[in-house]
Structure 1
Amino acid sequence: MAAEANANDLTQVVVLLAAGVAAVPIFKKIGLGSVLGYLAAGLVVGPFGFGFFADPQAIIHVAELGVVMFLFIIGLEMQPSRLWGMRKDIFGLGAVQVIGAIAALTCIGLSFGFPLIPSFVAGTGFVMTSTAIVMQMLQERGTMSTLKGQRIIAILLFEDLAIVPLLAIVALLGTGASAADASDRWISVGIAIGAVVALVLAGRYLLNPLFRVLASSGAREVMTAAALLVVLGSALAMQVSGLSMAMGAFLAGVLLSESAFRHQLEADIEPFRGILLGLFFLGVGMAIDLSVIAANWQLVAASVVGYMVAKMLLIYVVARLLGTCHAESLERAVLMAQGGEFAFVLYAAAVSAGIFDAQSNAILTATIIISMILTPLMVIAHDRLVPKKAPSTEGLTLPENVEGTVLIIGFGRFGQIVSQPLLARGYTLSLIDRDAEFVRDASEFGFKVYYGDGARIDILHAAGAGTAKAILICVDDKEAALKIAEVVKGEFPLVPLLARAFDRGHALDLVHAGVDFQIRETFESAVAFSRETLKALGEDDDVAEDVVEDFRDVDRERFAMETVGGIYAGRQLIRGNAQPADIIAARTGRARAAAEEERHRREEEQES
């Protein structure tokens, strides 16, 4: 019997893997995306497909760990200072959108003729956006690190923070809620706050020493186990205290975001995250109860349309009122139009509190799942209306065991100029760029440029970063350059790293990331342009050269102060009594006087 049970379990694992492996490439090939592929595969192998699984909820509960690990990786990208900078979006934009959407979606329930309390709870559940779907879509679209992506993440974070008070409200609205129940809920809120404080303290004072000790042991598998322990342990702590597991994992990621082990942790967690997140979408697809949909198809269809349209309109209006452009507002409305996995928890609590019966819960759950299925299709429709040509990587060569004296990451106009003196001196170059069209064009002019992202550790190793005598970051993307610098310094700390900076602020960020040399891309050309302008205005060559050199000295001093004391110190220098222009003018006056004196001396010598 035990052997049969084990064989059955193994069969289910094989079915899940086969379903995902078969469906996702097909759906991505026809342009429907991986999320829809997983959902469709889940429907096929679930109770209403071939019936390999009878209890999809069990799959979802396990696969929620994929969402947890996804949030941990997002947290690793969010330094505390960066998170603090998002506080207005989290508690401002997030609060306005959530509160406004609750009011709008409650009205949808009332318009269907349902009482106020069930309408409120149903609408509140639909307000909670699917973190798993939105994060996956942001990642696939490459917009997670952009400003519009960060705003969406801020809203999702506020929704996670709202979990505890919303569950407390549902319990208080339930039939037979007593003062004791209310007291218990307030105690639960206190426990949740205490758990967050405890996790922050543990992350600040325990995690980094722990990983240093484990790293010194040299056992790679122990580091992987420790990474999983941190993610799952923090998630469990938050779940026990009444918060979401995803919030706990996110906090753990934030606390480790400035750790020297950040990139190693991300590499260890990534494989588990991808598999479990796909498993979550498979579970959601299995959970579609076609019998409930068939018996109540009119109500389900009206609910899906009503809730999604109302939520989209509300998100769009809030975004526009807060100054967001039309394109970003529309994209945010489409991405966040669905209900989320938290609604399943909220509706289950409503059933326990006597607000819903089992039939209402099934209808609302079906509504949420259908909205999740429709979201990838709506995103595709949106992208077709605003088409963006995606670069094709067909026929491009990835780096593999490449060796070069110098590795240049980004071979555009800047990188090409940098390469010429190096080639003239006989140095061998390893070139990578992530612009597919450019890689093709470069081959026509005799350059062997490999296609690859310089922020990926495996690409760097394959491109010869480990044996290079210098690594040059010449990309024209500020965020990408900063991430590449952090990855390179973390993986190859002994290799000299030189970087192209976009502006002064970017140059400071690169210095703090550990680059050995940086230069603002327009600095030298602007200085040369200014020198020639002074000459055109009639200034002496020596005076023009002295003025430029004085400017270089002042700029170097200012940059050094900003690097050591932070941006604030640099701003104080600019705003203080000693303006850079005044310093240069004073030095220029002395140079001009010296030049005039020299000219008069020469004239006197000629006359005599």
Structure 2
Amino acid sequence: MEEHQALPYLRETLLFLALAGILIPILKRLKVNQVVGFLCAGMLVGPYGLGLMAQHIPELSYFVFPNTEGIRPLAELGVLFLMFMIGLELSVERLRALYKLVFGAGLMQVLLSTAAIGVFAWIFGNALEKAIVLGLVLSLSSTAVVMQLLNEQRTLDSPLGRASFSILMFQDLAVVPIFILLDVLAEGRADNLLPLIGMTLAKSIGSIVLIYALGRRFIRPFFRSFAGQNQPDVFMALTLLCSLGIAGLTAAAGLSLALGAFLAGLLISETEFRHEVEIAIEPFRGLLMGLFFMLVGMQIDWREIIKEPVLIPMSVIGLFLIKGTVIALILRVCRFRWSHAIQGGLLLGQGGEFAFIVIGTAVSSSLLANDVGQFMMLVVSLSLFITPMAAKAGKILAEREGKKDAEQDGHLQSEFSRHRAPYVIIAGFGRVGQLLARLLSQQGVDFIAFDNDLGIVMQESAKGRSVYLGNASNTAIWEKLRAGQAKAIILTMDHPGAALHAVNAVRNAYPSLPILARAIDENQAAILKYSGANMVIPETLETGLQLASNALQMSGISEPDALEAINHERSRLLAAVDYVPQ
């Protein structure tokens, strides 16, 4: 009787899930970058690692990937999610806030790095098309690795962190035209390259503009129609439908699926559903991205390093020298001190995760020979491995130089102060939340607000306010809003249970963050205060005090005496809120 397998590639799927379940917590505990960890795991269990030994030890074949066919489709889905998440991060609001650095420093970095690396590639005997591809591939840095290092060092909000983020943001934007250019170079010949580039770019830009214009018109009503119940499974289904649907449209237009996923993320980033979508797909994104980097690791043949024990390490060092020098000079022009400019160059000197995608595409379209592609993958992979050490060396160099120059530091602070304005987060945007928002706006204080009522979110978003859909008891929403950088959290919801869950979520994640809360009465106020809120205002207290103030003045008490009595009573009642509830 013929044996039928219920699920194709079941063994490979189970093996990957087992590796992910073991690997992810170990990497977090050891504080090892997940990109590097999955690359190493892929090299270990792939066809060029233990897979070589499985040919002689059959029992080992159950624990290795003898080929990559079983996980390639899922890994390609991980690429789509990567592009989708980059689209979500690249909101129009962020581009406006950092446009000088993004389109100034970022543009110059990509152009100069591409030119410098391309010239070296051409000198070493590569044709013009190959030199252009290699220059573009290696001009990109690793967003995943650099962002994790900035978060670990708590320097994302420093001037250097902002500049690094801006350069990475432009590199992410540059991925789109790079994909288009790859298609052009794959079809064109040197004699008609420029006309073909013009025609393809015109077609591509027209398709992108059309899809984007239609998407802006329909994506918000689409989510509003079906996401009214604020259910995670609904968000997941709608997100998959939008990302894969738009990816299908770009594929039908002759463009890449990854470009469509990027456009889908960019469209959703402009809606009030952005943060809920990020939360819904975060776990799957991590798994699929891990699968992608594991696949990349499996394709790296470490035996090539033995064949070229000098050339490959020298190429990695050369990559850091070229890109690091370009980035350091650009940062120096932006008035960073030399030590910080060099630190930025070492931080961003590696190759990026998109190099693996672009190299794979270039090899499959015969733009690059297979041996050249393998060599470049090794160079990029090794550059990722040494990035933490290079970043640490740059930080030590900057610290050894001593204190910052006061005049220059003042310039940098003024340059970045516009992007670091104080802001508060308002949870709950009913009548109280809207009153707070109006008063804050009148005083020039920025705010971000969210509510779990879709009707309120739709109404306020239509007015152009930064109001999103979200649940205050979900810790993930506070992470997406970067609550750690806020001046204060204000909880205005009138449901006692919701307020208590929100206080617990915020206090557990951010122990020192000020929390101001609204309460119905003194009993609820005491519970919220005991749970971690810094200040709680009971509604009944203020209502009674306002009535008492007017009654005293109508009874002949002078206004100053009435206010003094009211303030004294307010202080006494608020102090009584501090008791520990039984």
Aligned with 1:315 (options 324, 327, 345)? 327
Q: Which residue is 2:458 aligned to?
A: none
Task: Specify whether residues 476 and 31 from structure 1 end up closer, same or farther in structure 2 by C-alpha distance, changes over 3 A only.
Answer: closer
Q: Which residue is 2:50 aligned to?
A: 50
Give the match's secondary structure for 2:332.
helix
Deviation (angstroms), 1:225: 0.5
Give the match's secondary structure for 1:259.
coil
CA distance in 1, matches of 2:278, 2:492: 14
Q: Which residue is 2:226 aligned to?
A: 214
Task: Specify whether residues 170 and 347 from structure 1 end up closer, same or farther in structure 2 by C-alpha distance, changes over 3 A only.
Answer: farther
Aligned with 1:154 (options 169, 176, 180)? 169
Deviation (angstroms), 1:333: 2.3
Give the match's secondary structure for 2:9.
helix
Q: Which residue is 1:460 aligned to?
A: 473
Q: Which residue is 1:163 aligned to?
A: 178
Task: Specify whether residues 178 and 123 from structure 1 end up closer, same or farther in structure 2 by C-alpha distance, changes over 3 A only.
Answer: closer
For the 8 Å contact 1:67–1:273, the answer to whether it is kept is no
Give the length in aligned residue pairs.
427
Deviation (angstroms), 1:293: 2.6
Q: Which residue is 2:108 aligned to?
A: 96
Q: Does 1:205 align with 2:211?
A: no
For the 8 Å contact 2:87–2:269, the answer to whether it is kept is yes
CA distance in 2, matches of 1:328, 1:481: 28
CA distance in 2, matches of 1:5, 1:310: 51
Please give the residue correspondences for 1:69-108 in structure 2 after superposition, counting only pairs within 5 Å: 69-108=81-120
CA distance in 1, matches of 2:5, 2:129: 45
CA distance in 2, matches of 1:356, 1:128: 18
CA distance in 1, matches of 2:234, 2:257: 23
Task: Specify whether residues 189 and 13 from structure 1 end up closer, same or farther in structure 2 by C-alpha distance, changes over 3 A only.
Answer: same
Deviation (angstroms), 1:50: 2.4
Deviation (angstroms), 1:73: 4.0
CA distance in 2, matches of 1:340, 1:61: 21
For the 8 Å contact 1:45–1:286, the answer to whether it is kept is yes
Give the match's secondary structure for 2:319.
helix
Q: Which residue is 2:447 aligned to?
A: none
Deviation (angstroms), 1:193: 0.9
Task: Specify the code of the residue in structure 1 equivalent to 2:168.
Answer: I
Q: Which residue is 1:66 aligned to?
A: 78
Q: Which residue is 2:577 aligned to?
A: none
Q: Which residue is 1:267 aligned to?
A: 279
Task: Specify whether residues 94 and 215 from structure 1 end up closer, same or farther in structure 2 by C-alpha distance, changes over 3 A only.
Answer: same
CA distance in 2, matches of 1:117, 1:254: 30
Aligned with 1:480 (options 471, 486, 490)? 486
Task: Specify the code of the residue in structure 2 equivalent to 1:45.
Answer: V
CA distance in 2, matches of 1:131, 1:241: 28
Task: Specify the code of the residue in structure 2 equivalent to 1:48.
Answer: Y
CA distance in 2, matches of 1:235, 1:211: 18
Deviation (angstroms), 1:361: 2.8
Task: Specify the code of the residue in structure 1 equivalent to 2:486.
Answer: A
Q: Which residue is 1:372 aligned to?
A: 384
Q: Which residue is 2:12 aligned to?
A: 12
Deviation (angstroms), 1:101: 0.8
5+ residue gaps in structure 1?
Answer: 388-406, 410-454, 466-470, 500-514, 517-545, 547-608
Give the match's secondary structure for 2:225.
helix
Deviation (angstroms), 1:98: 1.1
Task: Specify whether residues 18 and 320 from structure 1 end up closer, same or farther in structure 2 by C-alpha distance, changes over 3 A only.
Answer: same
CA distance in 2, matches of 1:462, 1:369: 34
Give the match's secondary structure for 1:256.
helix
CA distance in 1, matches of 2:379, 2:321: 13
CA distance in 1, matches of 2:107, 2:180: 13
Q: Which stretch shifts more, 15-24 or 273-282?
A: 15-24
CA distance in 2, matches of 1:250, 1:171: 22
For the 8 Å contact 1:94–1:159, the answer to whether it is kept is no
Task: Specify whether residues 234 and 111 from structure 1 end up closer, same or farther in structure 2 by C-alpha distance, changes over 3 A only.
Answer: same
Give the match's secondary structure for 1:460.
coil
Deviations 1:311-332 (A, max 9, x none): 1221112221223345653443
CA distance in 1, matches of 2:484, 2:26: 35
Task: Specify whether residues 33 and 357 from structure 1 end up closer, same or farther in structure 2 by C-alpha distance, changes over 3 A only.
Answer: closer
Q: Which residue is 2:308 aligned to?
A: 296
CA distance in 1, matches of 2:256, 2:497: 37
Deviation (angstroms), 1:289: 0.9
Deviations 1:395-443 (A, max 9, x none): xxxxxxxxxxxx999xxxxxxxxxxxxxxxxxxxxxxxxxxxxxxxxxx
Task: Specify whether residues 377 and 128 from structure 1 end up closer, same or farther in structure 2 by C-alpha distance, changes over 3 A only.
Answer: same
Identity of aligned residues (%): 32
Deviation (angstroms), 1:234: 3.1
For the 8 Å contact 2:339–2:398, the answer to whether it is kept is no
Deviations 1:453-488 (A, max 9, x none): xx997883589x9xxxxx9xxx99784358x67x98
For the 8 Å contact 1:132–1:277, the answer to whether it is kept is no
